[in-house]
Amino acid sequence: DRPAVDAERSTTGGSGGNPAFITETRFDSFNLSPPTIKALHEDLGYEKMTVVQEATLPACLDGKDVLAKAKTGTGKTLGFLIPAIERILARGGRRSSNPDIEVLVISPTRELAQQIEAEAKALLKYHPLRSEIIFGGSNINSDRRRLESQPAEILICTPGRLQDHLDNTPSVPQRLKGLKVLILDEADNLLNMGFRPAIEKILRYLPGQRQTLLFSATIPPQVHTVSKLALKPNHAFIDTVG
Ligand code: ADP
Ligand code: MG
């Protein structure tokens, strides 16, 4: 019962978004950092927000917890990466040599995690910040070497592999103590794929004082249950599907 995430994506991704989802609201009408705007305009080639970005960015930039319902291919990735990066910048100061993992993105599949990582890299081009990716099926020792030789502020992962590192790579839970933003992407697919125990375990390692953003195309009961565990009771619910 696993949704055809990649099949759906190939009809919507890559070509710069579906024009039906683009609004008249410009990214530079929001108070975003100049390096973020420059990357959006010059590297990603986007000036206007999609419907879900326009609907969620104000609450996300405000630091609120958000449960957002939006279809595949509507631009959720930038919708959560932009406020997450802006949140890291809000602390000011320079990059540290051993930074906390300030933003954690949990994605159901390697392919989706890789797409998120590619957008994160593009968005970070003019920022003194790094992103890193870990997923199952790759060599865990090489993960460990990457994580420890070039620690990143933004970690994109699949749940099983993160769980593995929580148990076996002490620097990972250590560096997660400074987490500022948790993102659960495609929460319905995460749960359909059986990742609820992994997510519950991950949540136990994370600081309670953090912002959590949960994105899902559908909100079945399982997503409700996890949203109660992960999000603050006063979170915003933003439905762009209806
Ligand atoms: P979702 O996560 O909602 O399935 P994605 O974040 O993968 O969707 O975005 C789908 C496609 O739309 C990607 O190719 C992405 O680069 C593109 N996109 C995102 N934001 C914009 C925008 N503001 N304008 C045009 N295209 C965009
Ligand atoms: Mg997505």
Domains and CATH numbers, the chain: 54-90+97-239 (3.40.50.300)
What is the structure's pLDDT at 69?
A: 96
Distance 11 CA to ligand 1 centre (A): 12
- Give the whole-angstrom CA distance, residue 64 versus residue 52: 16
Residue with tokens 């929001």: 30
| pTM for the structure as a whole | 0.93
What is the structure's pLDDT at 10?
A: 36
What is the structure's pLDDT at 131?
A: 98
Alpha carbon separation from 69 to 90, 114, 225 (Å, rounded)? 27, 22, 15
Bridging pattern class, strands 48-50 and 22-26: antiparallel
What is the structure's pLDDT at 53?
A: 97
Distance 108 CA to ligand 2 centre (A): 10
What is the structure's pLDDT at 4?
A: 39
- Give the whole-angstrom CA distance, residue 90 versus residue 75: 24
- Give the whole-angstrom CA distance, residue 103 versus residue 87: 9
User: Which region, left, alpha or beta, applies to residue 191 given φ > 0 means left and ψ of -120 to 50 means alpha?
Assistant: alpha
Distance 93 CA to ligand 2 centre (A): 31
Q: Which atom of ligand 1 is nearest to the CA of 13?
A: 14
What is the structure's pLDDT at 68?
A: 97
What is the structure's pLDDT at 18?
A: 66
The segments of the chain whose pLDDT lies below 50 read 1-15
What is the structure's pLDDT at 8?
A: 37
What is the structure's pLDDT at 179?
A: 98
Q: Atom 24 in ligand 1: which residue has the minimum CA distance?
A: 46
Q: Which atom of ligand 1 is nearest to the CA of 49?
A: 23
ipTM beyond cut 0.95: yes
Distance 114 CA to ligand 2 centre (A): 11
